[in-house]
Amino acid sequence: MTFVARPPAAPQGAEPTLTNDGFFPDIDLAQVRDMGRIPTTLTGSRLRAALIGAVLSVGIDLADFKQAAIANGFASLSDMPAPQLDGHSVQTLRYLRAVTLLAKAELIERHRDYDTTTAGSAQADDLVQSIGDLRRDAMHAIRDILGVTRTVVDLI
């Protein structure tokens, strides 16, 4: 018989918010866990570290967009004119989606908790495709914020 100790599930809303730069929205860790289906067995500090990396990465991709928005008098992403969905700006929803997807991709890539049996190895190999899909979907969300097409084609 094997016993595996797991940390207790964190109550909803018990995790702190990741304070963003003021232009982009703050990140609610509990919301990210729910949106990204990230289990509570993954510690809050690991999730927070992955989210910080994702926020930094998305921030690089959206730096020019942010500067142009501020130059046009918008103090935050949610202040910019955009369609609303479920009471939220679609731009804000896209930003949260991009950050969540990139954080989840990093968590899967860096914190696999599979055993080394043949079945565990096969499951880990299956996640390689999932990581690519998560990164692709995050890039789609970023490109949607920027208002550019999702596909870039180079002729050889």
- pLDDT (tens digit, 9 = 90+) per residue, 19-70? 999 999 999 999 999 999 998 888 899 999 999 999 999 999 999 999 999 9
**97 domain residue, yes or no:** yes
- Establish how many alpha carbons lie within 13 A of residue 78's alpha carbon, considering only the half-sphere containing its beta carbon: 10
**152 domain residue, yes or no:** no
CA-to-CA distance for 92 and 84, rounded, in angstroms? 10
Q: What is the pTM of this model?
A: 0.81
User: What is residue 23's predicted lDDT score, i.e. its pLDDT?
Assistant: 97
CA-to-CA distance for 98 and 56, rounded, in angstroms? 11
User: What is residue 114's predicted lDDT score, i.e. its pLDDT?
Assistant: 44
Is the sign of the CA dihedral 137, 22, 74, 90 positive or negative? positive
User: What is residue 46's predicted lDDT score, i.e. its pLDDT?
Assistant: 93
pLDDT average, residue stretch 81-101: 96
**Of the given ranges (14-18, 73-77, 134-138), which has the lowest mean pLDDT?**
14-18
Residue 112 pLDDT grade (very low, low, confident, very high; cuts 50, 70, 90): low
**6 domain residue, yes or no:** no
Q: What Cα–Cα distance (Å) separates residue 9 from each residue in 4, 31, 41, 81?
A: 15, 14, 7, 39
User: What is residue 144's predicted lDDT score, i.e. its pLDDT?
Assistant: 95
Domain count, the chain: 1
| Mode of pairing for the β-strands spanning 27-28 and 88-89 | unpaired
**91 domain residue, yes or no:** yes
Higher per-residue confidence, 131 vs 6: 131
User: What is residue 115's predicted lDDT score, i.e. its pLDDT?
Assistant: 44
**25 domain residue, yes or no:** yes
User: What is residue 101's predicted lDDT score, i.e. its pLDDT?
Assistant: 96
CA-to-CA distance for 150 and 156, rounded, in angstroms? 19
User: What is residue 116's predicted lDDT score, i.e. its pLDDT?
Assistant: 43
**131 domain residue, yes or no:** yes
**24 domain residue, yes or no:** yes
For residue 18, pLDDT beyond 90: yes
Segments forming the whole domain that contains residue 31 = 17-146
**139 domain residue, yes or no:** yes
